[in-house]
A and B are shown apart, each in its own frame.
Chain A
């Protein structure tokens, strides 16, 4: 079966996951994002590329930050943006997901940005659009369950390339709650596709998927071992709600073993960069001295994230 995010000619028509996406397509998105970075530095932070197009933000799971970055990206491309908090409208009245989609297509939507707590929801929507002759309406996955968050993965890749240039000689560590993290999964797929020779995941056994090694990564439970020789350290947010599931003894205990402090960062390479997808829990997974330190690229990640989302929307809409 054809990858539902590609059309018959192999062009990107939806962005659902980085898993299985050819390296050329990933590189093309990263290259396209470069000139978009400079648009934010202009007085008029807007180009007319998507003028007249309607982008619907379909957030079945709330996320102010991700929704805002997609909204800014679409507006800087001159698209019209409609934000729908579905959680509190149609579905609570009993409408099915695909009925909601069909209604929005009837309103001449051009693109859906979809966030859903269920893994596979954006895939379901894209497959439905392809099947019903509406493949001209594009889907961007803005995070589905524990599955994927491809634009976050892409902005992480963009940030790493910006600071480290060549993927083929890097050691990258992803630290923390990999089990619940769609960010980690997307980043791992992207890094391996682009030829990063050493990807490590570091975390307690309770927060690492049992077969995580199958993704081609090296597993460490001791952070001090795992950080040795790293060029890039990606800290994941410890989702507080996980504490209840008895996966962790306490936040203090977690910080002691897996919190990134200046002392632990000193184990990585001297020019290692520190990344975090946000929102951060200071004092739980990251020390303020590191988060605000000179090796932190956490805020540039946010800036690059808008450019990367502009690139994705432009490539989809221009396909």
Chain B
């Protein structure tokens, strides 16, 4: 299926966020795709935006069925979550389960004043009442496909569609 260009979609996402996100909002990327995007957004959007990372593996709701994925990354939040305005950043918003897990994890560090959600692609198919505050593009994707964000050595982002579960 035809997918939008990742760099153009990123530019559209950054444009939507400019002027809309708080000047001191902290950007928290969900590993791995969201982490790349959070770093890029912190540079592209004016303001003081420290970047943190969460790996939601320890908070997922499918642990009993799928176990732990082989490479769990470190959650690193180099700022105080208590009272902060946080923009969670992820590559693809689908069922909403990763975002649910990320919000739970954030609350183990403190009580944020506000959490917003920025995603590159909103592909629909939600299983939880979670919506993106900012989305680069919205598109309908068949269930059999998963959308994967990759980053080349030069930092350029690319979107590909793969068979789900592959």
Q: Taking beta carbons and an 8 Å cutoff, which residues of A are in contact with B?
A: 28, 31-32, 34-35, 38-39, 42-44, 46-49, 314-315, 318-319
Contacts and interface: CB of A to CB of B under 8 A. Distances in A.
Nearest to A315: B68
A32 B59 contact: no
Interface residues of B, number: 21
Contacts of B75: 35, 38
B79 interface: no
B72 A35 contact: yes
Contacts of A48: 58-59, 104
B165 interface: no
A35 B55 contact: yes
Residue from B58, B74, B104 with most neighbouring chain A CB atoms (10 Å):
B58
B63 interface: yes
- Majority secondary structure, B binding face: loop
A28 B70 contact: yes
A42 B108 contact: yes
Contact of A318 (B59, B63, B108, B109): B63
Nearest to A38: B74
A46 B108 contact: yes
Interface of B: 55, 57-59, 63-64, 66-68, 70-76, 104-105, 108-110
Contacts of A35: 55, 57-58, 72-75
5 contacts: A32-B68, A35-B74, A42-B108, A48-B58, A318-B66
Contacts of A28: 70
Nearest to A319: B67
B58 A47 contact: yes
Nearest to B62: A318
Contacts of B66: 318
Contacts of B70: 28, 31-32
A298 B72 CA distance: 26
A148 B104 CA distance: 38
A32 B58 contact: no
Contacts of A318: 63-64, 66-68
Contacts of A49: 58-59, 63, 68
A43 B74 contact: no
Residue from A32, A34, A35, A39 with most neighbouring chain B CB atoms (10 Å):
A35
Nearest to A51: B63
A32 B104 CA distance: 21
A28 B63 CA distance: 17
Contacts of A31: 70-72
B102 to A, nearest CB: 13
A52 to B, nearest CB: 9
A130 B63 CA distance: 22
Given A47-B59, A318-B67, A319-B67, A32 B72 contact: yes
Contacts of B58: 35, 39, 47-49, 314
B109 A44 contact: yes
Contacts of B57: 35
